[in-house]
Structure 1
Amino acid sequence: MVEAESRLRDALPRLRRLGAVVRFDLGKDGCWVVDARTPSPVMSTEADEDPACTIKLSAENLIRLMDGKLDPMLGYTMGKIKVSGSMGVAMKLVGAIA
């Protein structure tokens, strides 16, 4: 969990063009919300408003996705990554972190 949080924090500068709030639901490892509506995205455990997109995956799969070891489309197809909300935001997100 700590590594996933750290890796997500490291990716924040790459998310500034996202222009949306995204929730990462890591199941038993917790949830992280990234607000990338401003030039300096911030990460927290709670959102002030509903996210445009929620990505549900394990912490291990988040790390694998960020390392390029998990193809986002294959992970989605196999059910390792679940997306609710805006698919457009999810696609922009994948381009920024994967």
Structure 2
Amino acid sequence: MAEISALIAAMEAKYDALEELGYRVRFDMKDAGSILLDATDGDVEIEEDESGEAEADTVLILTSDNLEKLIKGKLNPMLAFSTGRLKVRGSQGVALKLAGLLEEAS
């Protein structure tokens, strides 16, 4: 199980790519809690969402290990979605844009 602080640090390393997202995305991890990525207003804020209820345009549901693999480019987002390792609630377009930005930054 990946630590939330390590996942946040890995996302922060991709700050420049994530600036282009323009949306709020919550990562609900089945085994580790929740992270909110807020890339609105031309700024990027990434923080632990202790309530797991933060408002977001899209919610991605996956394990912390799969999130770590997505961030590092070791798991294809489309493969994760099609095999059930990644579930999307809300805008799938936002999820696709995020996936593309993460892949570019890898």
Q: Which interval holds the TM-score relative to the shorter structure?
A: 0.7 to 0.9
Question: Please, what is the CA RMSD of the aligned residues?
Answer: 1.9
Give the paired residue count: 98
C-alpha deviation, 1:54, in angstroms: 0.3
Counting aligned pairs with the same residue, the percent is: 32
Q: Give, in whole Å, the separation in 2 of the partners of 1:50 and 1:5.
A: 18
Greater Cα shift, 77-86 or 62-71: 62-71
Q: Does 1:91 align with 2:96?
A: yes
Q: CA separation of 1:79/1:48 partners in 2, compared to 1, >3 Å: closer, same or farther? A: closer
Matches within 5 A, 1:16-95: 16-46=19-49, 50-95=55-100
Retained in 2: the 8 A contact 1:23–1:32? Answer: yes
Which residues of structure 2 form unaligned runs of 5+?
Answer: none
Q: Does 1:12 align with 2:15?
A: yes
Which residues of structure 1 form unaligned runs of 5+?
Answer: none
TM-score by length of 2: 0.81
